[in-house]
Amino acid sequence: MEIRTLTPGDAAAEARLMAGAFEGGKRPAPTEESAKENAKTEPSSKTLGIFDGTRLVAAATIHDLHLVWGEDEVPMGGIAGVACVADQRGRGHVARLLREALGSMRESGQCLSGLYPFSFDFYKKHGWEWVGEKREYTLPTTLLQAASEGKSVRCYEGPEALEIVRPVYDLFARHHRGMATRRDPVPNFWDKALAHRDDRTTYVQVYHDPASGDAEGYLTFRYPDDGDTGQVGEFFANSPAAYRGLLSVLHYYGTQVAKVQFSTPADDPLPLFVMHWDLETKARPLFMGRIVDVAAAFSALRPDPALAGKIILQVADGQCEWNTRSFEITLEAGRISVAPTTSVPGITIDIQALTQAYWGQPALERLRAAGRIAVSEEPQYLLLSQLLTPSICYLQDYF
Ligand X SMILES: CC(C)(COP(=O)(O)OP(=O)(O)OC[C@H]1O[C@@H](n2cnc3c(N)ncnc32)[C@H](O)[C@@H]1OP(=O)(O)O)[C@@H](O)C(=O)NCCC(=O)NCCS
Binding site for ligand X (CB under 6 A): 21, 58, 82-84, 89-95, 117-119, 122
Contact yes or no for 125/271 (Cβ under 8 A):
no
**Whole-number Å distance between alpha carbons of 78 and 62:** 5
CB 100 to ligand X: min, Å: 12
Shorter beta-carbon distance to ligand X: residue 80 or 316: 80
The residue (of 119 and 255) whose beta carbon lies closer to ligand X is 119
Strand arrangement, sheet containing 309-316: 335-341, 326-332, 309-316, 347-350, 373-375
| Residue (83 or 232) nearer to ligand X, CB | 83
* Beta-strand runs (E) in 226-325: 229-237, 259-265, 280-291, 309-316
Give me the least distance between CB of 269 and ligand X, in Å please. Answer: 33
Name the amino acid, one letter, at 94. V
- The neighbour count for residue 387, using CB atoms within 10 Å, is 20
Least CB distance to ligand X at residue 21 (A): 4
Q: Which residues contact 65 (CB under 8 A, 6 or more apart)?
A: 75, 76, 77, 78, 114, 180, 181, 184, 399
Q: Within 13 A of 111's CA, how many CA atoms are on the CB side?
A: 16
Pairing of strands 112-115, 72-84: parallel
Taken in order 386, 392, 396, 399, is the CA torsion positive or negative? positive
Q: 93 or 251, CB closer to ligand X?
A: 93
Residue with Cβ nearer ligand X (82 or 388): 82
Of 51 and 122, CB closest to ligand X: 122
Min separation Cβ 139 and ligand X, Å: 29
Q: What is the rounded CA–CA span in Å between residue 390 and residue 42?
A: 36
CA 81 to chain centre: 15
* Closest separation in Å from C-beta 151 to ligand X: 45
Among residues 92 and 185, whose Cβ is nearest to ligand X?
A: 92
For residue 79, the minimal CB distance to ligand X (Å) is 8
Say if residue 131 is exposed, middle or buried (CB neighbours under 10 Å; 0-12, 13-18, 19+).
buried
Q: In terms of CB distance, is 24 or 371 closer to ligand X?
A: 24
Q: What's at 141, amino acid-wise?
A: T
Please state the closest distance from residue 388 (CB atom) to ligand X, in A.
27
Distance in Å, CB of 124 to ligand X, minimum: 11
